[in-house]
Amino acid sequence: MTLYEGRYVAPSDARFAIVAARFNHFVVDRLVEGALDGLHRHGVEAARVDLAKVPGAWELPLIVDRLARSQKYAAVIALGAVIRGSTPHFDYVAGQAASGAAAAMAASGVPVVFGVLTTDTIEQAVERAGTKAGNKGWEAALTAIEMVDLLAQLGDAKI
Ligand code: INI
Protein backbone atom coordinates (compact mmCIF):
# COMPACT_ATOMS: atom_id res chain seq x y z
CA MET A 1 0.00 0.00 0.00
CA THR A 2 1.17 3.52 -0.77
CA LEU A 3 -0.17 6.19 1.55
CA TYR A 4 -0.39 9.74 0.28
CA GLU A 5 -0.97 12.26 3.02
CA GLY A 6 -0.17 15.95 2.92
CA ARG A 7 2.26 17.36 5.44
CA TYR A 8 2.21 20.84 6.88
CA VAL A 9 5.12 21.78 4.66
CA ALA A 10 4.63 24.25 1.84
CA PRO A 11 6.83 24.08 -1.26
CA SER A 12 9.27 27.01 -1.14
CA ASP A 13 7.85 28.59 -4.29
CA ALA A 14 4.16 28.16 -3.45
CA ARG A 15 2.05 31.31 -3.36
CA PHE A 16 -1.24 31.57 -1.48
CA ALA A 17 -4.24 33.84 -1.94
CA ILE A 18 -6.64 34.82 0.80
CA VAL A 19 -10.04 36.22 -0.15
CA ALA A 20 -11.81 37.81 2.80
CA ALA A 21 -15.26 39.34 3.20
CA ARG A 22 -15.53 42.75 4.88
CA PHE A 23 -19.02 42.00 6.23
CA ASN A 24 -18.70 41.16 9.95
CA HIS A 25 -15.12 42.40 9.68
CA PHE A 26 -14.65 42.38 13.44
CA VAL A 27 -14.75 38.56 13.14
CA VAL A 28 -13.26 38.12 9.66
CA ASP A 29 -10.23 40.29 10.45
CA ARG A 30 -9.37 37.81 13.21
CA LEU A 31 -9.67 34.95 10.69
CA VAL A 32 -7.31 36.75 8.33
CA GLU A 33 -4.82 37.25 11.16
CA GLY A 34 -5.10 33.56 12.02
CA ALA A 35 -4.58 32.48 8.41
CA LEU A 36 -1.53 34.72 8.01
CA ASP A 37 -0.12 33.41 11.28
CA GLY A 38 -0.74 29.78 10.25
CA LEU A 39 1.00 30.33 6.93
CA HIS A 40 3.88 32.26 8.51
CA ARG A 41 4.51 29.63 11.18
CA HIS A 42 4.76 27.00 8.49
CA GLY A 43 7.37 28.83 6.49
CA VAL A 44 5.24 30.88 4.12
CA GLU A 45 6.55 34.43 4.33
CA ALA A 46 4.20 37.35 3.79
CA ALA A 47 5.65 38.12 0.35
CA ARG A 48 4.15 34.86 -0.89
CA VAL A 49 0.62 35.75 0.25
CA ASP A 50 -1.86 38.02 -1.51
CA LEU A 51 -5.05 39.25 0.17
CA ALA A 52 -8.18 40.34 -1.69
CA LYS A 53 -11.19 41.81 0.12
CA VAL A 54 -14.78 41.56 -1.08
CA PRO A 55 -17.93 43.19 0.34
CA GLY A 56 -19.54 40.03 1.74
CA ALA A 57 -19.53 36.25 1.62
CA TRP A 58 -21.89 36.37 -1.37
CA GLU A 59 -19.10 37.96 -3.42
CA LEU A 60 -16.38 35.49 -2.36
CA PRO A 61 -16.90 32.93 -5.18
CA LEU A 62 -16.27 35.31 -8.08
CA ILE A 63 -12.90 36.44 -6.78
CA VAL A 64 -11.95 33.01 -5.46
CA ASP A 65 -12.67 31.59 -8.90
CA ARG A 66 -10.67 34.32 -10.65
CA LEU A 67 -7.64 33.81 -8.42
CA ALA A 68 -7.85 30.01 -8.48
CA ARG A 69 -7.80 30.04 -12.29
CA SER A 70 -4.99 32.61 -12.50
CA GLN A 71 -2.29 29.90 -12.23
CA LYS A 72 -0.53 32.16 -9.70
CA TYR A 73 -1.54 30.40 -6.52
CA ALA A 74 -1.06 26.94 -5.11
CA ALA A 75 -4.21 27.39 -3.03
CA VAL A 76 -6.90 29.95 -2.30
CA ILE A 77 -8.34 30.49 1.18
CA ALA A 78 -11.84 31.97 1.42
CA LEU A 79 -12.66 33.69 4.72
CA GLY A 80 -15.93 35.14 5.92
CA ALA A 81 -18.58 35.03 8.60
CA VAL A 82 -22.25 34.48 7.90
CA ILE A 83 -24.28 34.85 11.07
CA ARG A 84 -27.86 33.64 11.06
CA GLY A 85 -29.02 36.12 13.66
CA SER A 86 -27.86 39.01 11.46
CA THR A 87 -29.70 38.18 8.28
CA PRO A 88 -32.98 36.76 7.04
CA HIS A 89 -31.15 35.51 3.94
CA PHE A 90 -28.51 33.50 5.83
CA ASP A 91 -29.16 30.34 3.83
CA TYR A 92 -28.77 32.10 0.48
CA VAL A 93 -25.54 33.85 1.43
CA ALA A 94 -23.99 30.83 3.15
CA GLY A 95 -25.13 28.48 0.41
CA GLN A 96 -23.77 30.71 -2.36
CA ALA A 97 -20.42 31.02 -0.60
CA ALA A 98 -20.09 27.27 -0.11
CA SER A 99 -21.29 26.11 -3.51
CA GLY A 100 -19.36 28.87 -5.28
CA ALA A 101 -16.14 27.93 -3.51
CA ALA A 102 -16.67 24.27 -4.38
CA ALA A 103 -17.35 25.15 -8.02
CA ALA A 104 -14.19 27.26 -8.19
CA MET A 105 -12.13 24.39 -6.80
CA ALA A 106 -13.64 21.93 -9.27
CA ALA A 107 -13.19 24.27 -12.26
CA SER A 108 -9.62 25.26 -11.46
CA GLY A 109 -8.16 22.12 -9.93
CA VAL A 110 -6.63 24.40 -7.29
CA PRO A 111 -7.45 23.76 -3.62
CA VAL A 112 -10.02 26.24 -2.32
CA VAL A 113 -10.28 26.14 1.44
CA PHE A 114 -13.64 27.10 2.90
CA GLY A 115 -12.89 29.21 5.95
CA VAL A 116 -16.30 30.81 6.13
CA LEU A 117 -17.95 30.66 9.53
CA THR A 118 -21.67 29.87 9.38
CA THR A 119 -23.07 30.33 12.85
CA ASP A 120 -26.34 30.98 14.59
CA THR A 121 -24.99 33.75 16.78
CA ILE A 122 -22.26 36.37 16.95
CA GLU A 123 -20.94 34.65 20.07
CA GLN A 124 -20.41 31.39 18.17
CA ALA A 125 -18.56 33.29 15.45
CA VAL A 126 -16.31 35.04 17.97
CA GLU A 127 -15.54 31.70 19.62
CA ARG A 128 -14.21 30.40 16.28
CA ALA A 129 -12.20 33.50 15.48
CA GLY A 130 -9.38 33.28 17.97
CA THR A 131 -11.09 32.67 21.29
CA LYS A 132 -12.24 29.45 22.96
CA ALA A 133 -12.89 27.36 19.87
CA GLY A 134 -9.60 28.26 18.18
CA ASN A 135 -9.20 30.19 14.98
CA LYS A 136 -10.77 28.78 11.80
CA GLY A 137 -8.56 31.04 9.71
CA TRP A 138 -5.47 29.37 11.16
CA GLU A 139 -7.01 25.95 10.49
CA ALA A 140 -7.84 27.00 6.92
CA ALA A 141 -4.21 27.96 6.33
CA LEU A 142 -3.01 24.56 7.50
CA THR A 143 -5.58 22.82 5.33
CA ALA A 144 -4.30 24.81 2.35
CA ILE A 145 -0.70 23.80 3.03
CA GLU A 146 -1.70 20.15 3.53
CA MET A 147 -3.58 20.06 0.22
CA VAL A 148 -0.73 21.73 -1.67
CA ASP A 149 1.74 19.18 -0.33
CA LEU A 150 -0.62 16.29 -1.09
CA LEU A 151 -1.06 17.47 -4.68
CA ALA A 152 2.71 17.80 -5.00
CA GLN A 153 3.16 14.22 -3.80
CA LEU A 154 0.53 12.93 -6.21
CA GLY A 155 2.09 14.95 -9.05
CA ASP A 156 5.53 13.53 -8.32
CA ALA A 157 3.99 10.04 -8.26
CA LYS A 158 2.56 10.64 -11.79
CA ILE A 159 -0.81 9.19 -10.84
N1 INI B 1 -22.48 38.84 4.20
C2 INI B 1 -21.67 38.15 5.03
O3 INI B 1 -20.49 37.90 4.69
N4 INI B 1 -22.14 37.72 6.24
C5 INI B 1 -23.42 37.97 6.65
O6 INI B 1 -23.77 37.54 7.77
C7 INI B 1 -24.27 38.70 5.79
N8 INI B 1 -25.59 39.04 6.21
O9 INI B 1 -25.88 38.99 7.40
O10 INI B 1 -26.43 39.43 5.41
C11 INI B 1 -23.77 39.14 4.54
N12 INI B 1 -24.55 39.83 3.70
C13 INI B 1 -24.01 40.56 2.57
C14 INI B 1 -23.83 39.72 1.32
O15 INI B 1 -22.70 38.85 1.48
C16 INI B 1 -23.57 40.59 0.09
O17 INI B 1 -22.39 41.33 0.28
C18 INI B 1 -24.73 41.56 -0.20
O19 INI B 1 -25.95 40.85 -0.29
C20 INI B 1 -24.50 42.30 -1.54
O21 INI B 1 -24.44 41.39 -2.64
pLDDT of 63-87, one tens digit each? Answer: 999 999 999 999 999 999 999 976 7
Does 25 qualify as catalytic in the annotation? Answer: no
Average pLDDT over residues 118-137: 94
Arithmetic mean of pLDDT over the chain: 95
* For range 54-66, the mean pLDDT: 98
pLDDT, greater one: 156 or 122: 122
82 lines ligand 1 (CB under 6 A): yes
Mutate to test the pocket of ligand 1, among 82, 114, 121 (most ligand atoms within 8 A of CB): 82
Q: Report pLDDT for 85.
A: 79
Burial 14-44 (b: 16+ CB within 10 A, else e): bbbbbbbbebbeebbbbbbebbbebbeebeb
Q: What is the 3-state secondary structure (H, E, C) of 19-48?
A: EEECCCHHHHHHHHHHHHHHHHHCCCCHHH
Residue to substitute in 19, 28, 29, 58 for testing ligand 1 pocket (most ligand atoms within 8 angstroms of CB):
58
pLDDT for res 157: 72
Per-residue pLDDT at 158 exceeds 80: no
